[in-house]
């Protein structure tokens, strides 16, 4: 663990203060505009730099409220990592976990799959979002699934029949059957029948997300996990990553990346920086912007496998006044990678695997983090 060098800290803060009067990036004019102070900050490709909240315009006493909330009885938090200005300013682990303990992603993996689609499009391996999925699922040709597009899969508007129920109705849950029973999960997902006309109905579906595995396999000629290591994990230094596959060898693009919380934070930082890592554009900048913007009008709180902040949504109760540019990768049991570009902030929360929080409120968890930023 390296401590943030004081000379670099003072330089970074001096540049930051000159660029932004409040010292927190509040005056940025564009969501993905590269901040002037970025060149002075370290990149955690090999290892994270660890600093104090105060060196990055945050009040540690106020910030500790997020720790207290996460540690509450029955919340089953394994780890929390807070990143500002490219460095870790706070991290907390519970129940014997530490910075090396793998966390589980559950559906946070969907956002990683989205990044890979964007990378493949940028590399001309996928022709575009309006490509019929029948290009990769030839059995769909000539059927009522022939016109379903990649855009509709990414935005959860395929219209394919799916029941995402978990604890409330596990016996009828398609995702539980796919995860726990099916040996070829891709074939199971591809075999669903339409329940709605494509593009006319929004419904959260891990089956849609699993179909991205076949698209990426066909486009790249490789397993998704291997492609991810080549074009995503290795460039940003994500280490100790295990992405589960089904028994047929298909990477689970809807689920199940296992890696320490610090590694998940690298992915959040990549998106905070508009897909750029150091001097390398890892994910196309236009894809970062498009995939974290509303993907359709049926439910504007969803992009392309990313969730968006919507203060009118019941999921975001008690978050009035939160930054409108907040977006996140969101998994079951409150796995989260939260990105707030206007505050130059990434917050990761991993829960104990297979432990359902008795209650979890993002407003109560994040409010101390936001309130800790001085001058905001």
Per-block mean pLDDT, blocks of 10 residues, the chain (376 long): 34 35 35 68 96 96 98 97 97 98 97 98 98 98 98 98 82 92 98 98 98 98 98 97 98 98 98 97 98 96 96 83 96 96 97 92 95 82
pLDDT at residue 36, as a whole number: 73
Ordered alpha helix ranges (H), the chain: 6-19, 60-70, 109-122, 150-154, 174-180, 185-190, 206-220, 224-228, 234-236, 261-272, 285-291, 362-371
What is the SS3 assignment for 193? coil
pLDDT at residue 284, as a whole number: 98
Q: Could you give the domains of the chain? A: 2-97+309-371 (no CATH), 101-258+279-290 (3.40.710.10)
pLDDT at residue 167, as a whole number: 65
pLDDT at residue 321, as a whole number: 87
CA-CA distances (angstroms) from residue 87 to 17, 56, 117, 266, 370? Answer: 17, 9, 28, 10, 17
pLDDT at residue 374, as a whole number: 84
What is the SS3 assignment for 219? helix
pLDDT at residue 224, as a whole number: 98
pLDDT at residue 215, as a whole number: 98
How far does Cα 122 stand from its chain's mean position? 19
pLDDT at residue 29, as a whole number: 33
pLDDT at residue 39, as a whole number: 77
CA-CA distances (angstroms) from residue 247 to 34, 77, 79? Answer: 43, 30, 30
pLDDT at residue 33, as a whole number: 61
Contact criterion met (CB below 8 Å) for 49 and 42: yes
d(CA 104, CA 91): 17
Tell me the chain's radius of gyration from C-alpha atoms. Answer: 20
**pTM higher than 0.85, yes or no?**
yes
């Amino acid at each position: 663990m390296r401590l943030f060098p004081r000379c670099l800290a003072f330089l970074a803060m001096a540049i930051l203060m000159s660029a932004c009067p409040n010292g927190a990036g509040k005056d940025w004019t564009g969501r993905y505009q590269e901040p002037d102070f970025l060149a002075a900050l370290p990149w955690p490709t090999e290892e994270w730099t660890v600093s104090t909240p105060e060196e990055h315009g945050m009040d540690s006493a106020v910030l500790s409220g997020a720790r207290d909330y996460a540690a509450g009885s029955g919340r089953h938090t394994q780890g929390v990592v807070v990143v500002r200005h490219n460095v870790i300013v706070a991290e907390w682990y519970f129940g014997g976990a530490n910075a090396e303990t793998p966390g589980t992603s559950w559906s946070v993996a969907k956002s990683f799959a989205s990044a890979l689609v964007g990378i493949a499009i940028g590399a001309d391996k996928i022709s575009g979002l309006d490509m019929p999925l029948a290009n990769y699922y030839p059995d769909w040709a000539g059927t009522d699934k022939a016109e379903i597009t990649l855009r509709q899969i990414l935005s959860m508007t395929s219209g394919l029949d799916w029941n995402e129920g978990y604890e409330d109705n596990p016996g009828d849950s398609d995702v539980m059957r796919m995860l726990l029973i099916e040996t070829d999960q891709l074939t199971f997902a591809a075999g669903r029948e339409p329940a709605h006309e494509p593009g006319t109905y929004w419904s959260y579906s891990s089956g849609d997300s699993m179909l991205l595995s076949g698209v990426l396999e066909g486009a790249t000629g490789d397993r998704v996990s291997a492609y991810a290591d080549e074009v995503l994990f290795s460039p940003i230094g994500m280490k100790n990553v295990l992405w589960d596959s089904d028994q047929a060898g298909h990477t689970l693009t809807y689920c199940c990346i296992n890696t320490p919380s610090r590694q998940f934070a690298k992915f959040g930082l990549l998106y905070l920086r508009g897909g750029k890592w150091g001097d390398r554009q890892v994910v196309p900048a236009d894809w970062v912007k498009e995939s974290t913007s509303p993907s359709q009008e049926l439910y504007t709180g969803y992009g392309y496998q990313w969730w968006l902040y919507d203060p009118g949504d019941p999921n975001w109760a008690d978050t009035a006044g939160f930054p409108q540019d907040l977006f996140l990768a969101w998994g079951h049991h409150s796995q989260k990678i939260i990105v707030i570009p206007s505050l130059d902030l990434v917050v990761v929360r991993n829960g104990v695997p297979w432990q359902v929080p008795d209650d979890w409120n993002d407003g109560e968890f994040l409010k101390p983090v936001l309130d800790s930023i001085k001058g905001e």
